[in-house]
Structure 1
Amino acid sequence: MGFFTPHPQLAFIFGVLGNIVSFLVFLAPVPTFYIICKKKTAEGYQPIPYVVGLSSAMMLLYYGMLKTNASLIISINGIGCAIEVIYLVLYIIYAPKREKVLTVKWIILFNLGGYCLIMGLANLFTEGSKRVTVVGWICAVYNVAVFASPLGIMRHVIRTKSVEHMPFFLSCFLTLCATMWFFYGIFVKDFYIALPNVLGFLLGIAQMILYVIYKNASKDVEITEKQQNGDIELKLSSVADVNPCLSENQLEIRKE
């Protein structure tokens, strides 16, 4: 039972580590937005992760303000809100018109309307510890949604046998981030923070296992395709040697 008693020193250590790792996770999309800015287009990229990320950071920021001694939650989620806003502004600047309008609608619906609605209802119908409990459950649901978002990527990896869109170090940092915040939640007895990070840890481990399984699969596919193309080229060369009257167009037709 001693494990579940508050440990302020350990909570501070894991909270600081959680801030550091979370900051690195927030910075993970920087290479993506470097490419977007360089190409001056966001076509082909989705804004949903940044809309959801901003919503989650805003709710956790509000939750931290309702609690006492939650400066570590407030600090990282304040930074996270600022970073996610920058991502969304850049996306809106470079997105095609249709995606631009859709992104603005999502921001108004979820990040402004949804947040104000939740905050208004919480202030209207709850007070004190009950308000903290209600907002804590909402934050837990948000965190579960954020952690569940990689399920689509994992399914894509299994279907295509390619880990191109699931970088190993991002999965590793997400797992490490979930671990830090799980222990922080345990040591401050905040199970609205701790429990969702169990799911984050398990999904992070699952992603790294998938990466190990399929990291060479795409290479094998490329090698097989090259071998097949090489065999086709060899056969065409043989045909051309036997019948040099065949034109290049005829060879191309046979190749297809």
Structure 2
Amino acid sequence: MVSAVFIRQGVGVVGNVISLCLFLSPIPTFKSIWKKGAVEDFSPYPYIVTVLNCALWVYYGLITPNSLLVISINAAGLFIEFIYVALYILYAEKKQRKNACILSLCEIFSYAALVLSCSLIPNPQSWRGVVIGWLCVFINIGMYAVPCVAIYRVCKTKSLAYMPFWLSLACFLNGLCWLAYSLIGFDKYIFTSNGAGLVLGVIQISVIGYYLFKYPQPRDYILPEWLLSKLSKSQNNKIIDEKASGGRKVELSDMVEISIHS
């Protein structure tokens, strides 16, 4: 019989993969920043806050038994988010760079003071996990809630451009997976933050589903244009192969369709 510990580890590994996808989701944004050589109107705050969130979860994992998977994914996230913040500072204008640096330094000093306080005060075990745990909960819920801010703009414009499908789906799956992880060997902090995250993810997916079927959206909203073109070309090739193998005539329009999508 499979043990609960083994199942929990398996769920945690899946959660790590989904969380990693979530951490990597801003890559297109920073690729655009790198190409343009400017951050334009992009905000650094989500990435700076995520740095703090990951750092807190790493510390929580270090003081909580059997939390290797929590440590590993948040350590990876911390590294990735540091890169994002560094790239933002590199390409930001003077005022933007100053604000991002000040906020980052305040965050670093606040985190260092918190860890130092927990380390120096005698016998902190009775409350250390509680303080760090609830801080993780509040910041994590805030991260899950960030995409929901776009709902107002979606409702106003009837456009899903402000609510990326894959980011919302990743938030939903991340909350679901880590909620399951927290229930196997109950952890109230992971349970609370990801339970709330799951609810917020359901709200986002529901909004996307409603506006996706109610109002016309760009054809590349879910799949990128290059993949759509490739799929379209593949489908046209299939039609031609079926016609040829069946002894039917291949029309010139079939060949033109392929050349258009090539």
Answer yes or no: is the 8 Å Cα contact 1:181–1:193 preserved in 2. Answer: yes
**CA RMSD between the two structures:** 1.8
* Corresponding residue for residue 113 of structure 1: 109
Alignment of 1:214-253 (within 5 A): 214-215=211-212, 219=216
From 12, 26, 37, the counterpart of 1:40: 37
* Corresponding residue for residue 154 of structure 1: 151
Indicate the larger mover: 121-130 or 38-47.
121-130
TM-score of the pair, normalised by structure 1: 0.79
Alignment of 1:168-207 (within 5 A): 168-207=165-204
* Corresponding residue for residue 5 of structure 2: 8
Mapped partners of 1:75, 1:116: distance in 2: 20
* Corresponding residue for residue 95 of structure 1: 92
The DSSP-based 3-state class of the residue aligned with 1:199 is helix
Q: What is the CA deviation profile of residues 71-91 of structure 1, one whole-angstrom value per residue up to 9, with x for unaligned ones?
A: 101100110000000000111
Answer yes or no: is the 8 Å Cα contact 1:162–1:217 preserved in 2. Answer: no
- Structure 1, unmatched stretches of 5+, are 1-5, 221-256
Mapped partners of 1:54, 1:187: distance in 2: 27
Answer yes or no: is the 8 Å Cα contact 1:57–1:77 preserved in 2. Answer: yes
Mapped partners of 1:52, 1:172: distance in 2: 21
* Number of corresponding residues: 215
* Corresponding residue for residue 210 of structure 2: 213
TM-score of the pair, normalised by structure 2: 0.77
Mapped partners of 1:105, 1:160: distance in 2: 35
- Structure 2, unmatched stretches of 5+, are 218-262
From 53, 56, 74, the counterpart of 2:71: 74
